Each structure stands twice: as C-alpha cells, then as structure tokens.
C-alpha cells in the first residue's frame, strides 16, 4: 500500500538558523518558522501562530544557513519526523519537518546601478 508523508509551509523564521553536528560529524541546519492563521468572528479579527521546528541537511542546509535570517519569509516542503527522548524517566515526543525543498520568498531590494554614459552620446560630444 502506498504511503505519503508531505508537508508544505509558508512562514517567517523565528530566529537565525543554527548549525549543529551529529555524533558522526554530519552538519545539519536547524531553525523554526512561524505560520500565522487569521480569521474573522463578526468584526473581530482573530490570529493564531503555529511554530514548526525545521531541519535542513546537505546543500539545502548550507543555503538556508547562508541566506536565511530571523524574519525571512520562506516556503518549506518536506516530511514530518517524530522522535522521542527520555527526560526524568518520562518519554517525550517531538515532531520536526525535514526539508526536501526550500524557496526564499522575501522581495529582493534592487540595487541602484551607476548610470553609464551612452557610448553614442560620448562620440557625438567629441
């Protein structure tokens, strides 16, 4: 029987990405994103923010580390992974999104390029 584990999110980074290393020395980029939901109840606007823990491995992780920062708007596509750990004799579970595709959605600020004189105009002025 086929199975599907896929999640798509658009949200803002809550803080700058961090790089961590596994016990085997592999590098992983970790960050969290906030996804806001808004709706109206009568004339009142309600809002709830859901937070998601994100893990990016390999080249995608390097790109995230280099270009993303707190507040960046980003599209994340990936799969969910639930892990568990023991704390004070109690088993705890947490879920994170493992990135398979990432797209930066922030608008680029266009740099002002210096205006170069028109070549034809220079020739005519000589």
Rounded to the nearest 10°, the torsion over CA 41, 44, 48, 49 is 140
- Quick one: fold of 7-125? OB fold (Dihydrolipoamide Acetyltransferase, E2P) (2.40.50)
Q: Is residue 64 predicted with pLDDT exceeding 60?
A: yes
Q: Is residue 94 predicted with pLDDT exceeding 50?
A: yes
Mean pLDDT, residues 93-120: 72
Query: What does the alpha-carbon distance between residue 54 and residue 82 come to, in Å, rounded to a whole number?
Result: 12
Q: Average pLDDT of the chain?
A: 87
Report pLDDT for 70.
96
DSSP, residue by residue, 62-103: HHHHHH--TT-EEEEEEEEEEEEEEETTEEEEEEEEEEEEEE
Q: Is residue 97 predicted with pLDDT exceeding 50?
A: yes
Instruction: Band the pLDDT of 112: cuts 50, 70, 90.
Output: very low
CA 4 to chain centre: 22
Enumerate the domain spans of the chain: 7-125
pTM: 0.77
């Amino acid at each position: 029987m086929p199975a599907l584990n896929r999640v798509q999110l658009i949200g803002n980074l809550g803080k700058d990405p961090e790089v961590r290393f596994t016990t085997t020395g592999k590098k992983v980029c970790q960050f969290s994103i906030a996804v806001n939901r808004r709706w109206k109840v009568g004339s009142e606007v309600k809002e709830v923010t859901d937070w998601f823990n994100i893990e990016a491995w390999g080249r995608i992780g390097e790109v995230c580390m280099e270009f993303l920062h707190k507040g960046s708007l980003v599209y994340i596509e990936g799969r969910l992974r639930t892990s568990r750990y023991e704390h004070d004799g109690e088993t705890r579970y947490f879920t994170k999104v493992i990135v398979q595709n990432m797209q930066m959605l922030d608008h680029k600020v266009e740099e002002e390029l210096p205006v170069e004189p028109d070549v034809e105009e220079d020739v005519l002025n000589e």
